[in-house]
Each structure stands twice: as structure tokens, then as C-alpha cells.
Structure 1
Amino acid sequence: MAVLHNRVSNEELKQRMLAETEPRTTLSFYQYFPIPDPQAFRDEWYQQLTALKVFGRVYVAHEGVNAQVSVPQSRFDALREFLHGHPALAGLRLNVAVDDDGKSFWVLRIKVREKIVADGIDDPAFDMSNRGRYVSAEEFNRLTEDPDTIVVDMRNHYEYEVGHFEKAIEVPSDAFRDQLPMAAEMLDDAKEKKIIMYCTGGIRCEKASAYMLHRGFQEVYHLEGGIIHYANQVREQGLPNKFHGKNFVFDSRLGERITDEIIAKCHQCGEPADTHVNCVNESCHLLFIQCDACKTKYEHCCSRECQDFIHLPIEVQKEKRKGVEKGRNVFSKGRHSLRPRLGDLDPTL
């Protein structure tokens, strides 16, 4: 009988990955296309990707597939051939990571979901096929030179905080389903202007562009392949780079350096910093930005309270954690807002 789920502990799998000698390539891809039987599709992919030693996170839904994975370099071509062999995925763009150590994932998880992007849209008239026009890095740069063009960042606050495009508008929410109506309302008086939307790899801004057209906006574009593809195009074509800082990514790296600029600040002391970490207190796991000095001072914790907690006897810590929801916390605009911790980060929430 085919094995369709992982049966080894996360810790053992992580150690196996770290012991690997062959380099891995981290990449992401997505495609909106109809999948009549997502569960059968998921099971077939689990077997095929396991055989290729692919690690990562893949979501399958009736509306398509969304994946962030790593693959041994010797099997990259085989993975591409497998993907391109599907009629709906022929020529699929693979976004190869910009700043990659190959240690992004250590287990393969493929999940069936209602949607590959949780958008909150329940309007039956919404048509995903009527979406904005792709723009390349070169076109993006040219369009943004027009002072009347509006650039919209469709990522969460903690992503925007460490890196974003010049003149980009932040939609102040940490849930994509809330950002869609918020973006439309924020730009309600600009329906006849050029709107360019972007995100990490393209999946969110593609749906956002369709939503904006649905809401009556006239000229909507979205950056093909998101920040990742843009950064690769800029480097390969020698184009001016309009992105500043770090691109937050949803794997164990938590970021890829696009430029040397540090535009964010340590959440504890306010000094320049853009390294996201999780509080080591098992009862907290807050995702926040911490500089090296504060990492030492607070022993990898987000606060004195958490620092005191980790020095309690292990049995006392366990007792105090009973019945306490670890939360889905991230430091956001001076408050703790509900978002995933490192192990469950998801760009499509």
C-alpha cells in the first residue's frame, strides 16, 4: 500500500536534512486551474514528490496548487519535468530562491484546502480568470516612474516592515482576506489610475488584481512572480533595483537579502535590525525582530517575563503551559496580533 503521509518525527527529519551532503534548491510555484478531485491529486503528488526527495509545503484546492519546496539539485530537472508534464502546468514558472542555503524545509506536507489563497470572497460573480496584466521587472520599473501609478503591497505588516518597493502603499492588516476589501476602500477614489500590486511570489497579488477589477478598478497590473522573480530578473538583466531591504519568506530562513539596506528596527531596543526570530519560550513563540545585542541580553526571548520563564525548572514550565494556547503571535505595530508562529507560517492566510 502506498505511503501517503510522513511517519517520522520532525526532529529526526530535521537532523536528516542537516546531515545531507548534496545541496538543495529552494523554489516556489503556484497555478490557478481547476482540480476536480483535490484529494486524488494530493495523493498522487505526495508519492511523486516523495520519490524526488522534495521537502516543503504544498496546498491543493479546487482552484489550483500553491507550493514552497526544496529539492536536491540533482533532481531539480526531474521535478521540473514532472510539473511541466501536467497539461495545466506546462511552462509553469518556478521561482528559485534569491538567497538560499537549501535548509528551508525538512519534511514534505501536502494538504487539501478549500482555497490555495484564503481570500474571504463569497461573491459568486467574482471571476478569477479576469485578472490584472502581468508586468515584468523592466515593465514594473517603467510604470512606477509615472507619478500617477499606485504601487500596492499585498503582504502582511511584518513582511512589509523588513523590505518593500519604493513608494509602495502598505495595506495595514495581517490577513489577506481582510486586505482585499481594505485595499479597495483605500483606493476607492483612484479607480481610473494605474494600480500595480505585488507580493512575495505572485499568488496573492494575482488574486488581488482580479478582486480589484471585480470592484471596478480600470487598469490593474500585478508583478509577475512577485519579489522573488523580480530580484532574479534585476540581477540577470542588470536592471535598477527598486526593492529595498529583505524579502520575508515563509520557511525556516525567514528572509532573503535583496539589498544590504536594513530598513527595520529591533523591536526591543530600536536599533537597525531585520532578522526575524521566534521567542524561545515555548509558551510564547512570538515572531519578532531582534538584533544580536538583544539576542544576547534577553537570551533569545522577546521580554524579561519570557526570559525569567525559561529559567524555571522544566517541570514547572510544563505545568504553567498546561491549558495555555501557545498562540499565533507576531509583533505587529507595537502589539501582538494573531498570526502563525514559525512552524506554521503561511503566506496565504
Structure 2
Amino acid sequence: MQLYNTLSAKEREALIEEAGKDRLTISFYRYAHIGNPQIFRNHLFVAWDALDVLGRIYVAHEGINAQLSVPAENFDAFKAHLDSISFLENVRLNIAIEHDNKSFLKLKIKVRDKIVADGLNDDTFDVTDKGIHVGAEQFNELIEDPDTLLVDMRNHYESEIGHFKNAITPDVDTFRDSLDIIEQQLSDHKEDKKLVMYCTGGIRCEKASAYYRHKGFKQVYQLEGGIIDYTRQVKAKGLENKFMGKNFVFDQRRSERISDDIISNCHQCGEPCDTHVNCANEACHLLFIQCESCAEKMDHCCSHECQEVIALPEEVQKELRKGISKSNKIFKKGRSEVLVYKKPPQEPVSNSFTSH
């Protein structure tokens, strides 16, 4: 039985256009004990491939982390399948604010050591001893409290284009980088302050809240459902939206606009801009912010060097790409020496933090 993709992204994109059917972009996670992640992975692939599910899903002994899209007409069948799995019954589904039928172009279900790379030894603390989950209304009240420390648990390229007002935004490349930095820099406030955290959909805060309780923080809170569900609650309940800018997402859309605020700048000219792109040179693929004017001038590249590369014949470009590993270096956009504009220094909360 076929348990992997047989179509390229371009072929899948053409099929989606031909079908002309609406798709829903969804994310969810659940920490659970999975005895054999490989068997579970194969079960999901067979069931979801039949429903035309596309996406990026990680399965591990500790649970599942999924970002995917499903044809709207298959949503009920997809939900029924989730409910047939004991630990996924009635799991909270974060449905995207802005839908794009091409948010995902392949079904990738991978077995990993962890569903989020946190670098933690889970045997050293109780991962079920989590912080208090709060909805949008209580979250709004908490972040106006002067005794609250509001921390963005996402990476620098995510918070740069959007974050909650007065949030501490660690200048880090990965989630695992932020955990010890936050604990060290806020260690003087373990007893007297409320530690309130948020992330995209809640999964990073789920683990972090247990870790910080283990580290001695007495009052730990996390935004239930993350920024995605916060936005939905704000609209449904008529609450004040305290999020500024865009919410970075890990699919073809790259972001969802939450407010009209543009809080970041083009990395090439410095003009207000919050549009993430990947460098057109496939050997580079650097993620950075680029305005329309610079995109036209630079042929959608991050540098003149990359601009020269994409002018070469495709076969020559393929030869140049051989053996090159982009890895997570594509996310070092704000630190890349090829980008002319650098974010102006902010008044730091500490050597490792920026508070907006």
C-alpha cells in the first residue's frame, strides 16, 4: 500500500485548481502516550490520504502535532475519524482565520522524537503539571495587570511581524533557545509576578508552562488555543483585540492578518512592510521581509549575489545547489549579513529580551 506522496507540489496544485473546491486549514495537537508511533503514523496516512488531507504532521511517543488542510466537504468525515481515536476525541481544532486552498500541497506525516523540538528531558519533571489555561477575555484582563509578565513563546521571525502589546519577545531562532533564557532572565519574579505565555496555537506553551512550574514559577498561565483561537474569540465575543500585526503561520500562506498595524520593516529598504518571502534562489531560500518595490528591483532575491544566480540556466543552478543544506539557516533573516536594513535597537528588558 502506498504510504507516501506520489505527486509533486506543482501537480497537486494543479489538481486543487481543477477541483475548484474549498479547503479548510486546521491545526491541532495533543500530548498523549503513543506506544508505536510508526504504526499510528501509517494508520493516519491511510485514513487521511483517502480524505484528501494535505499537511505537515509530527507523531511521537509523546503525542501528535498537526497542521493540515482538508476539503470542506470532507470535514465531517475527518472529524469523525479523529473522534474514533480515544485520545483525539473532541480535540480542539484551530481553524484558520484566512483560508487558502493551497496552504499545503503534500501530506507529510513524520515520526519524530518529539512533537516540538524543545531540548528538554521530560523524565526530570511532570509534563502534566501545566499552567492555567485562559480564554481571550481573561487573557486581556491579565495582560493589563502590572504584576503580569507577558512572554511570547515564538521565535524572532514570528514576533517581528506581530505580537501582543507590551509582550516580551525573546530574540531567538528556536523554541528550545527561549526556554532557559526566559527562566534565567525572569528568575527574580518567580514568586511575585504572573507569568503569562502565548504562542501560535498553544502547543509550545503547553510544555513550557509545565517546565516553568517545575522551575519554581508560582503563577503560570497560558493562552488557550494560542493566537489563532484568541482571534476567533475576540471576533465572536466583541472583545478588544490586543494583538498587533500579523500571526506567522507555517504553511504556504506564511501569515494571517490580525490587525491593520504594520509593525515591521522591509529588510532591504526599511519601509514599513510585513510580507515574508523566501529568496528566489533555491540554494539560498532565506526567509525575510521584502516590500513589492524591492521584490521587483531584486527579482525576489535577498541579495545581488542570489540575483546573479537565478539569471543562470536552471541546469547550472541545480549543479550549484548540489550538496547544500539550507536547514534552519533560512530563518536567520534578521541576522543575515546580506540584508541591508537591520531592525533598530529597542530598549531591552535584559540582554536577551526585547519588550514591545
User: Please, what TM-score do these two structures have when normalized by structure 2?
Assistant: 0.91
Give distance in 2, aligned partners of 1:323 and 1:119.
28
Matching residue of 1:86 = 85
Asked whether the 8 Å contact 1:29–1:95 carries over to 2, the reply is yes
Give distance in 1, aligned partners of 2:337 and 2:222.
30
SS of alignment partner, residue 160 of structure 2: helix
Asked whether the 8 Å contact 1:191–1:216 carries over to 2, the reply is yes
- Structure 2 residue 55 is the aligned partner of structure 1 residue 60: no
Describe how 1:191-230 pairs up with structure 2 within 5 A: 191-192=190-191, 193-230=193-230
Give distance in 2, aligned partners of 1:4 and 1:318.
28
Matching residue of 1:119 = 118
SS of alignment partner, residue 124 of structure 1: helix
Give distance in 1, aligned partners of 2:315 and 2:110.
35
**1:67 CA drift (Å):** 0.3
Give distance in 2, aligned partners of 1:259 and 1:215.
35
Give distance in 2, aligned partners of 1:330 and 1:266.
15
Matching residue of 2:43 = 44
Matching residue of 2:348 = none
Instruction: State the AA in 2 paired with 1:226.
Output: G
Asked whether the 8 Å contact 2:151–2:168 carries over to 1, the reply is yes
Asked whether the 8 Å contact 2:51–2:74 carries over to 1, the reply is yes
**1:336 CA drift (Å):** 6.4
Asked whether the 8 Å contact 1:134–1:224 carries over to 2, the reply is yes
List per-residue Cα deviations over 1:291-348 (Å, max 9, x = no partner).
00001010101111111221123343334334433453224433369xxxxxxxxxxx
Asked whether the 8 Å contact 1:57–1:68 carries over to 2, the reply is yes
> Which range moves more in the overlay, 306-315 or 215-224?
306-315
Matching residue of 2:283 = 283
Matching residue of 2:274 = 274
> Which range moves more in the overlay, 165-174 or 323-332?
323-332
Give distance in 2, aligned partners of 1:16 and 1:202.
33
Structure 1 gap ranges (5+):
338-349
Matching residue of 2:105 = 106
Give distance in 1, aligned partners of 2:163 and 2:337.
22
SS of alignment partner, residue 25 of structure 2: strand
**1:170 CA drift (Å):** 1.0
Matching residue of 2:135 = 136
Matching residue of 2:262 = 262
- Structure 2 residue 317 is the aligned partner of structure 1 residue 317: yes
Give distance in 1, aligned partners of 2:40 and 2:317.
43
Give distance in 2, aligned partners of 1:309 and 1:262.
32
Matching residue of 2:352 = none
SS of alignment partner, residue 318 of structure 2: helix
Matching residue of 2:331 = 330
Asked whether the 8 Å contact 1:264–1:272 carries over to 2, the reply is yes
Asked whether the 8 Å contact 2:173–2:331 carries over to 1, the reply is no
Asked whether the 8 Å contact 1:100–1:256 carries over to 2, the reply is no
**1:179 CA drift (Å):** 1.1
Asked whether the 8 Å contact 2:16–2:101 carries over to 1, the reply is no
Give distance in 2, aligned partners of 1:47 and 1:38.
14
Q: How many matched pairs?
A: 336
Matching residue of 1:239 = 239
List per-residue Cα deviations over 1:199-223 (Å, max 9, x = no partner).
0000001111111111110010110
Asked whether the 8 Å contact 1:330–1:336 carries over to 2, the reply is no
List per-residue Cα deviations over 1:40-81 (Å, max 9, x = no partner).
111111111111111101111111111001011111111112
Matching residue of 1:346 = none
Structure 2 gap ranges (5+):
339-356
- Structure 2 residue 34 is the aligned partner of structure 1 residue 35: yes
Give distance in 2, aligned partners of 1:9 and 1:307.
26
Give distance in 2, aligned partners of 1:315 and 1:118.
36
Give distance in 1, aligned partners of 2:56 and 2:332.
24
Matching residue of 2:14 = 15
> Which range moves more in the overlay, 54-63 or 97-106?
97-106
Describe how 1:143-158 pairs up with structure 2 within 5 A: 143-158=142-157
Asked whether the 8 Å contact 1:117–1:204 carries over to 2, the reply is yes
> Which range moves more in the overlay, 2-11 or 211-220?
2-11
Give distance in 1, aligned partners of 2:278 and 2:35.
39
**1:261 CA drift (Å):** 1.0
Matching residue of 2:253 = 253
Instruction: State the AA in 1 paired with 2:307.
Output: Q
SS of alignment partner, residue 168 of structure 2: strand
Give distance in 2, aligned partners of 1:73 and 1:321.
38
Instruction: State the AA in 2 paired with 1:94.
Output: L
- Structure 2 residue 158 is the aligned partner of structure 1 residue 159: yes
Identity of aligned residues (%): 56
User: Please, what TM-score do these two structures have when normalized by structure 1?
Assistant: 0.93
- Cα 1:309–1:93 change in 2 (3 A) is same
Instruction: State the AA in 2 paired with 1:183.
Output: I
Give distance in 2, aligned partners of 1:220 and 1:320.
49
SS of alignment partner, residue 168 of structure 1: coil
